[in-house]
Amino acid sequence: RVIYIILDLITSISLISTQNYYTSEPKKKRLSKLERSKMSIEYPLNEIVIGLLLGAGHIQRRSLNDNSRFIYGQSSLRKHHFNYFNHVFELFQPYLSEDFKIKERSFIDKRTTQKYCSINFATLSLPCFNLYRNLFYSSEKIKIVPANIQKLLTPRGLAYWIMVDGSIQNKGLHLNTYNFTNEEVLNLKRTLENMFVDIAK
């Protein structure tokens, strides 16, 4: 039953990709402090951000006095990867500067002479991203799993995490958690177990 639930989640993302979750109209490039303070992360983007941050998403804050910005990138851009990147990019359109352009980069692996491409975007630095910076980063600026991840991760967030860092291995689903500590991985394991128990009820 758990496998079917996971497959349903992955399928739902394909359907979600045809929808827009804008919470406001795109803003002009230079925002006043008041305009920045009024911007917020609303449902369902608040759930999606959690899943993205467990994967390839990042929150950058240059100093304690600055606001934070969300950064997302992908590499090895096959067609379906690029479509998913565009979907995520559209979700964050309201938080980008008006003249923002997606950044592309290519490089050649000297060992294999294989050419690789990557693509990324970064939002404006806004107060609404500070919460996620505080949740997902330690005082040493290391990315962590929030201690209360069980309250934060929803089926929708899990679906986006799977799309970013999930793969099918043998007969199961593999999620990339190599950058997290053993304790954090165990916390994620308990979170997923409890989530599927709740769904199955």
**CA 48 and chain centroid, separation:** 7
Where exactly are the structural domains of the chain?
2-200
Cα 97 to Cα 29: distance, rounded to the nearest angstrom: 4
- Torsion angle, alpha carbons of 55, 59, 62, 67, to 10: 180
Identity at 31, one-letter amino acid code:
L
SS (H, E, C) 40-52: CCCCCHHHHHHHH
Identity at 124, one-letter amino acid code:
L
* Residue 56: HSE in the Cβ half-sphere, 13 Å Cα cutoff: 19
Class (C level, CATH) for 2-200: alpha beta
Whether pTM exceeds 0.85: no
| DSSP 8-class letter at 127 | G
> Along the 201 residues of the chain, how does pLDDT read in single tens digits?
444 555 555 555 555 454 444 444 444 557 888 999 999 999 999 999 999 999 999 999 999 899 999 999 987 656 667 788 889 999 999 999 888 888 888 877 788 887 778 899 999 999 999 999 999 999 999 999 999 999 999 989 999 999 888 888 887 888 999 999 999 999 999 999 998 775 545
Longest dimension (CA), the chain: 53
- Torsion angle, alpha carbons of 67, 191, 75, 28, to 10: -30
Angle between helices 45-54 and 155-165 (to 10 degrees): 40
Across the chain, the runs of DSSP E, i.e. the strands, are: 58-60, 69-75, 103-108, 115-122, 166-169, 172-175
